[in-house]
Chain A
Amino acid sequence: MTGHTVAVTRRFTFSAAHRYGRPEWSDAENRARFGAVAAIHGHTYTLEVTLRGPIDPVTGMVVDLEELKAVVGETVLARFDHAFINDDPAFPPGVLPTTENLVRVVWDLLVAKLGAERLAGLRLWEDPTLYVDYRGEA
């Protein structure tokens, strides 16, 4: 069973709050630009982490899922589950907590632990109707 490159995806969920707004604008201006998402609100996010690699001939695995659970738990879930994203150091005033910006932060956290050769892609769902796909810098 060697020589096969396989992609493995595991799904995680976390719940977090955020709001869109530019610090230099008034509340009315932010409501005019961003609408309902200018108010503090929350989502149950779903994060799909895809790792790619050869099947280990001894374990039969591409990745030890216990290792993946530990890495995502310590780096992503511990930081963003039941958190207010706007308070996170990665989102200073002026950096909007969009799904696009959040997936870049999550990518940087995971690629440092898992390695760019293994981390193949992330899909971050803000809700069941909206997601972003990111596969690292081109």
Chain B
Amino acid sequence: MAIMELTKILRFSAAHRLASAAFSPAENRRQYGACARTHGHNYALEATVRGVVDAEGMVMDAAALEQAMRTAVVDLVDHREVRLVDEQEAQSGAREDTAVPYPFNTAEELVRLATDQRLCRYDVAAVVYNRTARLEGKVSDEADRRRAEKLALEAGALRVDDRLLLDPATGDAGRC
């Protein structure tokens, strides 16, 4: 069995600033320095999948990996300002230049957006507003429900809004 890792790299550009709502403007300048001003970076997102090479000679179809990275991350943040928005503003679509609906701001938190895709193993979609993850989809039993909630919390959500349906016919394979 040949096990190997396939890595795809995509680049995107986004703007952000580091500022906590708990601080005054002066405190934010002191805490975060130049990062408290709106500025931008060229980011590189590297996604690695690991597994057995299948009969087609692939760990995963590289085109499907690229599409997943674009849908889950790059299309949401490329040439946008990444900042906190509330659900009302996100749904109004008023700020097309702002990355919505993701409330995270630092590089580490952007990476968590990609790891949310682990949820698709349970056929669960996660939408995050103000750090509340709304989980929608089907799971086969209570254990899967708890696993999906745990993954959402590990991915950075503070609270989980569970709208999952129990369906014993739903397999563990989910959509991925």
Question: Number of contacting residues on B, CB 8 A?
Answer: 17
Is there a chain B Cβ closer than 8 Å to A128's Cβ?
yes
A96 within 8 A of partner (CB): yes
Q: Which residues of B contact A35 (CB under 8 A)?
A: 63
Residues of A within 8 A of B2 (CB): 100, 104, 134, 137
Given A35-B63, A129-B8, A129-B10, residue A100 in contact with residue B3 (CB < 8 A):
no
A101 engages B53 (CB within 8 Å): yes
In the complex, number of A-B residue pairs with CB atoms less than 8 Å apart: 50
Contact size range, A: 20 to 34
Interface check B62, CB cutoff 8 A? yes
Q: For window 2-32 of chain B, which residues contact chain A by CB distance below 8 Å?
A: 2-10
Asked if B58 is at the interface (CB within 8 A of a chain A CB), the reply is yes
Name the residue of chain A whose CB is nearest to the CB of B4.
A134
Residues of B within 8 A of A128 (CB): 9
Q: List 11 A-B contacts (CB under 8 A).
A: A95-B57, A96-B56, A100-B6, A100-B58, A103-B4, A129-B8, A129-B9, A130-B6, A132-B7, A133-B5, A134-B2
Residues of B within 8 A of A (CB): 1-10, 53, 56-59, 62-63
